[in-house]
Amino acid sequence: MADRVLVPWAQNLENAPAGIAGDVFAGDGEPAADLSRVGFYVVPYGRGQRLELMEHMPGLRAVQLLTAGYERALDHLPPGVELCNGRGLHDASTAEHALALVLAAQRELPRWAGDQAAHRWEPHYTRSLADSRVLIAGYGSIGEALEARLVPNECDVVRVARTARPEQGVHGIGKLHDLLPGASIVVLTAPHTPETEGLIGAAELALLPDDALVVNVGRGPLLDTAALLAEKGRVRAALDVTDPEPLPAGHPLWEAPGVYITPHVAGGSDTFYPRARRFVDEQLRRWAAGEPLANVVRSGD
Amino acid sequence: MADRVLVPWAQNLENAPAGIAGDVFAGDGEPAADLSRVGFYVVPYGRGQRLELMEHMPGLRAVQLLTAGYERALDHLPPGVELCNGRGLHDASTAEHALALVLAAQRELPRWAGDQAAHRWEPHYTRSLADSRVLIAGYGSIGEALEARLVPNECDVVRVARTARPEQGVHGIGKLHDLLPGASIVVLTAPHTPETEGLIGAAELALLPDDALVVNVGRGPLLDTAALLAEKGRVRAALDVTDPEPLPAGHPLWEAPGVYITPHVAGGSDTFYPRARRFVDEQLRRWAAGEPLANVVRSGD
């Protein structure tokens, strides 16, 4: 019987309930495990995802991903196998980086880094996050995590999502143009879909007040790069994702005035691993107890 | 009768209760006011403090400072005049900058700024604030404002002040050596006094775990510069205040590994002015109503 698990961390086996046995495969080399006996496969995180291995597991009943995206996994998923994703595991890391970008832009941290390199001590007053109004576009679990971090900074938060949820104070995307003129900071946390592509273009940037800040931790194509460049610094930006991505050397965005760039690192911090390991522990406990798994994105029925 | 006020912002006169009249003096040039009629003087903020003017106000009954420090004002304060300081007006700005420095160091923002200048897109995993333990040394009103901003970032906060306040979970400074080994981040928010000078020296740095971060938004001399340099990057630092200050060009701290510097800008952001103006409005209202003023640091009796 295919009753064994294949997990990325030895700790998951150590913490597993009685009756759960298996092997560790972190994505390096080949798994030292009898694939025919694997019933639950936790796909390694990072470059060594090895999605195709599931095609060599005839007894497979469930697959756990550690990413939120799961489209590529569907191409390899055998019929009747349940698929779970890693929704929520990156929220804390991404929200934390979004907050870091907001604060860095408002308090001019990139400027001070340049001044440090030049041994220059020239203080001046800066903008602040306090007293600003922050519009979160694509308000979901990352937006919630970001809002929790923004509120004690004494700023207002305006929530916008695809669909209005009036009972939760969430505006629908149709209200975006009405809301942009009152926002001094806009944070994009939406996924990339046909509806969100170009969500912030020339028309939307034009509605923002002078010196507003657009932060993108969603996906590059949410923000129209050419339209941002055309603003010539009137609207500032702090971008963890870009279009194109990776941004090639020589691209004008690198040197655009008021634009600060980090190389798609919002989700990738030490925050992720303990949360991911704990989540796998919990899934194994559910698996052993015969309970429904969490984060199911395709049923095994 | 000396019944007029001298305030730094016209808005204060516009918002003043009936019966309050006076003049605006923002610190530039000389005040266009009859100093003999000034009963309440709000000292302008910034370089044009003009503390000595109070010696030319024979009817003066109260002086309001917009700074927390008031030692220099005492040198000019006539007998019998009440003195109020600006305690709390900088808390939001300073706590916000301290949070920005913590996040910048953990998420490597200075590195990404350098990579942007070099058109380099080379992501890697970083540390996070989440899951860390932050020790606030000098836990007072700024520490409280910082803690409020840290907690939703999913980290533990340890409070240390001169005097233990067990009912509020505040450890006394005598426990510092016991607490340092468990802290991955230490934020210094204490004032500079004989007791706090060298609060973090070689012995304290040695107690911190490898790769710990020391953030200083208090005063430069709280942290022993030579001891920090001797760590050669084993302990990182993000410093808004330095010793000496301003830091001269060529000083080794500018290029010390793992040290990030901003030029004493924590308190100086847009956050300050609206809070300061509102506070002056409130003091004028109390003054007009004959109520006790807030933030009295020397009584007029």
Domains of chain A, each with CATH number or no CATH: 4-89+271-298 (3.40.50.720), 91-261 (3.40.50.720)
Chain B hits for A107, CB-CB cut-off 8 Å, are: 96-97, 100, 262, 265, 269
Whether this model's ipTM surpasses 0.90 comes out as no
Residue A191: pLDDT band with limits 50, 70, 90: confident
Contact A116 B110 (CB under 8 A): yes
The mean per-residue pLDDT over the stretch A248-268 comes to 96
Start-to-end Cα distance in chain A? 19
Instruction: Give the pLDDT of residue A1.
Output: 59
Cβ–Cβ contact A19 with B under 8 A: no
Cβ–Cβ contact B244 with A under 8 A: no
- Max Cα distance, chain A (Å): 70
Chain A hits for B149, CB-CB cut-off 8 Å, are: 149, 152-153
Single-letter amino acid code for the residue at A166: P
Q: What is the percent of chain A with per-residue pLDDT over 70, rounded to a whole number?
A: 99
Q: Which is nearest to A201 in space by CA: A217, A182, A186, A184? A: A186
Contact B262 A109 (CB under 8 A): yes
The mean per-residue pLDDT over the stretch B84-94 comes to 93
Instruction: Give the pLDDT of residue A280.
Output: 97
Instruction: Give the pLDDT of residue B1.
Output: 58
- Residue A271, min C-alpha distance to chain B (Å): 6
Contact B249 A103 (CB under 8 A): no
Chain B hits for A269, CB-CB cut-off 8 Å, are: 106-107, 125-128, 130
Least confident of A25-34, A199-208, A251-260, B131-140: A25-34
Q: How many contacts does A have with B, using Cβ atoms within 8 A?
A: 179
Residue B48: pLDDT band with limits 50, 70, 90: confident
Residue B50: pLDDT band with limits 50, 70, 90: very high
- Distance, in Å, from the CA atom of B235 to the CA atom of B237, rounded to the nearest integer, reads 7
B114, B125, B152: residue with CB nearest A149: B152
Contacts of B145 (CB under 8 A, 6+ apart): B91, B92, B94, B95
Residue B292: pLDDT band with limits 50, 70, 90: very high
The mean per-residue pLDDT over the stretch A203-214 comes to 98
The mean per-residue pLDDT over the stretch B255-266 comes to 97
pLDDT one-digit tens code per residue, B162-180? 999 999 999 999 999 999 9
Touching A: B residues 178-237, CB under 8 Å: none
Using only C-alpha atoms, what is the Rg of chain A? 22
pLDDT one-digit tens code per residue, A51-73? 999 999 999 999 999 988 788 89
- Inter-axis angle of helices A109-117 and A91-106, nearest 10: 70
Contacts of A28 (CB under 8 A, 6+ apart): A48
- Residue A38, min C-alpha distance to chain B (Å): 30
Instruction: Give the pLDDT of residue B3.
Output: 85
A13 close to A48: Cβ distance less than 8 angstroms: no
pLDDT one-digit tens code per residue, A120-155? 999 999 999 999 999 999 999 999 999 999 999 999
Instruction: Give the pLDDT of residue A70.
Output: 86
- Site of tokens 């016209």: B10
Token pair recorded at residue A236: 């500032």
Q: How much is the mean pLDDT over chain B?
A: 95
- Distance, in Å, from the CA atom of A54 to the CA atom of A30, rounded to the nearest integer, reads 13
Touching A: B residues 105-164, CB under 8 Å: 106-110, 112-117, 119-131, 148-149, 151-154
Chain B hits for A237, CB-CB cut-off 8 Å, are: none
Instruction: Give the pLDDT of residue B83.
Output: 97
Chain A hits for B269, CB-CB cut-off 8 Å, are: 106-107, 125-128, 130
Residue A273: pLDDT band with limits 50, 70, 90: confident
Strands A185-188 and A213-216, by their bridges, are parallel
- Residue A44, min C-alpha distance to chain B (Å): 16
- Residue in chain B lying closest to A123 (CA): B263
Cβ–Cβ contact B74 with A under 8 A: no
Q: How much is the mean pLDDT over chain A?
A: 95
Least confident of A43-47, A107-111, B154-158: A43-47
The mean per-residue pLDDT over the stretch A212-230 comes to 97
- Best mutation target among B45, B109, B131, B215 (most A Cβ atoms within 10 Å) is B109
Token pair recorded at residue A143: 């937006």
- Max Cα distance, chain B (Å): 70
A96, A127, A246: residue with CB nearest B269: A127
Chain A hits for B125, CB-CB cut-off 8 Å, are: 265, 268-270
Instruction: Give the pLDDT of residue B106.
Output: 98
- Residue in chain B lying closest to A131 (CA): B271
- Site of tokens 């308090």: A107
Cross-strand partners of A41:
A6, A63
- Residue in chain B lying closest to A110 (CA): B113
Touching A: B residues 77-96, CB under 8 Å: 92-93, 96
Token pair recorded at residue A37: 């006996």
Chain B hits for A123, CB-CB cut-off 8 Å, are: 263-265, 268
Residue A192 has pLDDT above 90, yes or no: no
Instruction: Give the pLDDT of residue B49.
Output: 85
In B8-76 the beta strands, taken as DSSP E runs, fall at 21-24, 38-42, 62-64
The mean per-residue pLDDT over the stretch A245-249 comes to 97
Single-letter amino acid code for the residue at A254: W
Touching A: B residues 258-297, CB under 8 Å: 260-265, 268-271, 274
Residue B2: pLDDT band with limits 50, 70, 90: low
Strands B82-84 and B38-42, by their bridges, are unpaired
Contacts of B167 (CB under 8 A, 6+ apart): none
- Using DSSP's 3-state secondary structure scheme, residue B248 falls into coil
- Residue B115, min C-alpha distance to chain A (Å): 8
The mean per-residue pLDDT over the stretch A88-93 comes to 93
